[in-house]
Structure 1
Amino acid sequence: MIIVKPAQSKHQHDITRLHAISWQSVYTGLLDEKYLSEDVFQERGAIWEQRFSQPSENQRIYVALENENLLGFICIYLDQDSEQGTLIENLHVDKDTKGKGVGKALLQHATRIIQTEASHSGAYLEVLSQNISAQHFYDYMGGKPIISQQWQAPEGSFVDELVYGWTSTAVILER
Structure 2
Amino acid sequence: MVSVGFRTASATDYLSIANLHVRISSEAYASTLPSDYLAEVMPREKIELWERRLAPPVRSEELSITLAEVHTDLIGFACFVFSEETHFGSYLHNLYVDPAFQGNRLGPRLLIESIDRFPSERRETPVHLLTMRENYQARRFYERLGGALIEEKQSVMSRYPEIIFVRYQWPSALVMASNALALSGYSHRASGR
- Using structure 2 for the length normalisation, give the TM-score: 0.82
Letter in 1 for 2:105: G
Q: Render the CA deviation track for 1:72-126: whole Å, top value 9, x for unaligned.
A: 0111123644432101111111111111111111111222234724175210000
Q: For the Cα contact (< 8 Å) 1:145–1:165, is it kept in 2?
A: yes
- Residues 119 and 14 of structure 1, relative CA distance in 2, 3 Å threshold: closer
Within the alignment, does 1:40 sit opposite 2:39 as a pair?
Answer: no
Instruction: Map residues 89-100 of structure 1 onto 2, 5 A cutoff.
Output: 89-100=93-104
Q: Render the CA deviation track for 1:107-163: whole Å, top value 9, x for unaligned.
A: 112222347241752100001111111111111111111111122326x11211110
Q: Give structure 2 stretches of 5+ with no counterpart.
A: 183-193
RMSD, matched Cα: 2.0
Partner residue of 2:142? 138
- Structure 1 or 2: more strand by fraction: 1
Within the alignment, does 1:61 sit opposite 2:65 as a pair?
Answer: yes
Partner residue of 1:24? 26
Secondary structure in 2 aligned to 1:53?
coil
2:109 to 105, 113, 117: 105
Q: For the Cα contact (< 8 Å) 2:15–2:51, is it kept in 1?
A: no
Q: For the Cα contact (< 8 Å) 1:85–1:120, is it kept in 2?
A: no
Aligned pairs, how many?
Answer: 174
Letter in 1 for 2:71: N
Q: Percent identity?
A: 25
Q: Give structure 1 stretches of 5+ with no counterpart.
A: none
- Residues 68 and 81 of structure 1, relative CA distance in 2, 3 Å threshold: same
Matched residues in 2 for 1:22 and 1:122: separation?
Answer: 27
Matched residues in 2 for 1:26 and 1:119: separation?
Answer: 30
Letter in 2 for 1:21: R
Worse overlay, 122-131 or 70-79: 70-79
Alpha-carbon shift at residue 170 of structure 1 (Å): 2.6
Alpha-carbon shift at residue 32 of structure 1 (Å): 1.9
Matched residues in 2 for 1:79 and 1:111: separation?
Answer: 16
